[in-house]
Amino acid sequence: MQETTELSPESASVLPIHSGIDPTISIKNLDFAYGSNQVLHGVSLDIYPREVMAFIGPSGCGKSTLLRCLNRMNDLVDNAQITKGSIEIHGNNLHDPSVDVIELRKKVGMVFQKSNPFPKSIYQNVAYGLQIQGVRSKRKVDQKVEESLRKAALWEEVKDRLNENAYGLSGGQQQRLCIARTLAVEPEIILMDEPCSALDPVATGRVEELILGLKNEYTIVVVTHNMQQAGRISDRTAFFYLGELIECDFTKKIFINPDKKQTEDYISGKFG
């Protein structure tokens, strides 16, 4: 049975109208295909600074594919390609030949569905990206490790065990560690692909609180199959169906008074 979606006061608050604000991410008439299988059809969407955007829709609707387009993770998949349209970050086309994909992925960090800490210590998990960038000052690395763990709401739980293997952490702690690892390299945008799907309710609540705190500094895009979660954490919600963007609006409106019947049917549990 479909549960009733409840909106928190925080998520129900309406952002100022975006007029006069340039989008952080601008997706323009995007078609995307895996070989001959087209999975996104004419998607156009702007995502603005310091907002949480949720992508919702039934399995196979293209929301995770679109998310992975935003930092070119789909480049790693054979025969995956944008066949029409473009994606821009601050007006710069992600597929311009001058774009350094490694630099792009530092700016646009990603947290995956299943936590994937390195088989290293808690400290080394967070420090790794900095060391790859050539940061050699131990003092600077120490500061950034602590700062990132604090931002990920994990410092107090691990500060006395930084040299222990990260695999000794609980599932929820591992996911927050992966978020800290992403924060350490100072991204501007954070992509999250169903970050709580493998977590228990308590750990999920902690990650959701973390997302609400991080949006003061970062633009965050979250794919979630959990509509209640979208209602709790997002400022705006985009609903996808069969590779098309059906509707995008403030989350409160999407859940209470959507414009499209397909959106209403999905929200009310008639399909999904």
Mean pLDDT of the chain: 91
**Residue 18 pLDDT grade (very low, low, confident, very high; cuts 50, 70, 90):** low
The Cα–Cα gap between 23 and 2 comes to 34
pTM (predicted TM-score): 0.89
Is residue 11 over pLDDT 60? no
SS3 at position 56: strand
Q: State the number of CA atoms in the 13 A half-sphere of 45 facing the CB.
A: 27
Question: Phi and psi at residue 156, in whole multiples of 5°?
Answer: -65, -25
* Alpha helices (H) along 122-200: 122-132, 138-151, 155-158, 171-184
What is the pLDDT averaged over residues 158-179? 96
Ramachandran quadrant class, 138 (left: phi over 0; alpha: psi -120 to 50; beta: rest): alpha
pLDDT of 271: 78
Residue 206 and residue 152 in contact, taking contact as beta carbons nearer than 8 Å: no
SS3 at position 89: strand
Across-strand partners of 108? 189
Q: Could you read off the pLDDT of 174-233 as tens digits, one per residue? A: 999 999 999 999 999 999 999 999 899 999 999 999 999 999 999 999 999 999 999 999
pLDDT of 145: 97
Q: Could you read off the pLDDT of 105-153 as tens digits, one per residue? A: 999 999 998 899 999 999 999 999 998 888 889 999 999 999 999 999 9
Is residue 92 over pLDDT 60? yes
